[in-house]
Structure 1
Amino acid sequence: MSRYRLSPSDAVEWLRSLPAASVDLVITDPAYESLEKHRAIGTTTRLKRSKGSSNHWFQIFPNARFPELFTEVWRVLKRDSHFYLFCDPETMFVAKPLAEAAGFRFWKPIVWDKQHIGMGYHYRSRYELILFFEKGRRRLSDLGVADVLPMPRVYRGYPAEKPVELSEVLIRQSSEPGGVVVDPFMGSGSVGVAAVRLGRDFHGTDICPEALEVTEARLRAEGAQPEAPGDTRELRIARSG
């Protein structure tokens, strides 16, 4: 049975609390800084409020914090492991060299083809990038998987919600059953749902109280159990406070 551990914490501070070399795989999707540009010029309405959620858009994770984030991701990952970072083309040019400076080998961007156009004025966006990094050396489970993953976006879901099936591809490629998958910007928990469906444990954090509630409900619906009673009590205390 898969287990989970959730926390209402800042991503970097939470990663610092994890033991070194304790994580098999990190997949995450920060609310990157370039989203503010789209909000400022009005090229999207989804940055204001999602139809599937009562909360306002996430607090932006500034580019200036990427070095400390990547340092901690490197520290908590086991030797010979992978790290996937969702981002847009603008953020890619910022994140790639900073992750490499933290020690990661950059392999390539994977393209998530959402199959329908989205926000923007000039050549409206239809895809998102997933930057593929490696610590040490780890062979992918299936070398026949292409670098373009066509999968419809989630409509009327949590803000920026990713399809569970998309995370399932990455988890199958880069971890084994029984491993620990981590998402320090977990949102609605799609990475966690994919992890427990595939027999992995999931650890995640988010500063949004609704994200914690939604994620826990989804994980329990999949049959996952909290890793320790203390984690659940801590979560309830954070919600009531």
Structure 2
Amino acid sequence: MAAMNNDWIDRVFGEDALQGLQRIPDGSVDLLLADPPYGLGKDYGNDSDKLDTAAYLRWTEEWIDAALPKLKPNGSLYIFLTWRFSPEIFVMLKQRMIMNNEIIWDRRVPSMGGGTRRFSSVHDTIGFFACAKDYYFDLDAIRIPYDAETKKARSRSIFVGAKWLELGYNPKDVWSVSRLHREHRERADHPTQKPLEIVERMIKASCPPGGIVLDPFMGSGTTAVAARRCGRRFVGFELNPEYCALIEQRLAQLDGQTPGERPLAERSA
């Protein structure tokens, strides 16, 4: 049973999420942000992405059932998926939550190469789910501002003072954000690192200031970095000790510290 104290907050534990989730009290997390292995055989320094289809889907259902109770009654979930498994996993989640959006992340992959027997895959699928109809969502925090030319064109009296014109428009469900290529300034040594722009949009929209974001598969630590940058708390798990060290390094750089000045990521006993 999880201890009812806060020593799990702002920590990344070097352990399997299925065991580590027991550390977290039920009903204590505002946002669950999950970027699990996609079931494509990627090398994360272990065998976590080398399950066959049936085993992968069983494992997915197992961690979902372990993680969802940690959410508050008005909490939300974003999950990164590949099109290969998103239909099955969306069905799992729709039996447990309310589905708000299927978001398409256009990775802006250049038009070159690719397969010759099918269309090139250049997107990831993201599911946005909520525990209840009154889920937290701050649209104003993520509005996209209109440019000066657009505002000028909407100068008729009926538009004067319109909130949507002044603050910007609601992001659509297709997000065109470049993947982190090898020369990208954000890029760390991780094969499937997600851009801060995407993760910060999720956090600003679906986690209140000072709230807690849970990431069961921390990877390079983008969720932790984004939470810190956005004034939120975080907790997560990561199997690979090299990635745990990378997370500590990224957060230390963000805070202007030397890695190791605080016990962020640790191997559980």
The two structures have a TM-score, normalised by structure 2, of 0.72
Determine the structure 2 residue equivalent to 1:152: 178
CA–CA separation in structure 1 for the residues paired with 2:131 and 2:75: 5
Q: Which one-letter code corresponds to 2:48 in the other structure?
A: Q
The 2-side partners of 1:196 and 1:234 are apart by 15
Partner of 2:36: 30
Please list every run of 5 or more consecutive structure 1 residues that lacks an aligned counterpart in the other structure.
Answer: 37-46, 49-54
Quote the residue 1:142 is aligned against. Answer: 139
> Alignment RMSD, CA only?
2.6
Letter in 1 for 2:60: F
Q: Alignment partner for residue 214 of structure 2, among 178, 182, 187?
A: 182
The separation in 2 between residues aligned to 1:190 and 1:233, in whole angstroms, is 14
What fraction of aligned residue pairs are identical, expressed as a percent? 29
Per-residue CA deviations over 1:55-75 (Å, capped at 9, x if unaligned) read 647621622112221122220
Counterpart secondary structure, 2:255: coil
Native 8 Å contact 1:74 1:104 kept in 2: no
Aligned residue for 2:197? Answer: 165
| Structure 1 position 21 matched with structure 2 position 40 | no
Of residues 93, 98, 109, the one that matches 1:116 is: 109
Q: Does 1:205 align with 2:202?
A: no
* Change in CA separation of 1:153 and 1:64 when aligned onto 2, cut-off 3 Å: same
Which of the two has higher C-alpha Rg?
2
Answer yes or no: is the 8 Å Cα contact 1:24–1:175 preserved in 2.
yes
**Using the alignment, how far apart are the partners of 1:78 and 1:89 within structure 2?**
28
Q: Which residue of 1 aligns with 2:126?
A: 130
Post-superposition offset of 1:29: 0.8
What SS does the corresponding residue of 2:239 show, helix, strand or coil? coil
What is the deviation of 1:13?
1.6
Per the alignment, residue 232 of structure 1 pairs with: 263
Q: Which of the residues 35, 45, 59 maps onto 2:48?
A: 59
Structure 2 gaps, min length 5: 1-8, 141-169
- Is the counterpart of residue 105 in structure 1 residue 98 in structure 2? yes
1:214 to 246, 249, 265: 246
Please identify runs of 4+ aligned residues in structure 1 that moved more than 6 A: none
Measured in 2, the distance between the counterparts of 1:117 and 1:134 equals 34
The 8 Å contact of residues 117 and 125 in structure 1, kept in 2 or not, is answered as no
Task: Tell whether the 8 Å contact from 1:31 to 1:58 is kept in structure 2 after alignment.
Answer: no
TM-score (norm 1): 0.80
Q: Matches of 1:218 and 1:74 in 2, distance apart?
A: 28
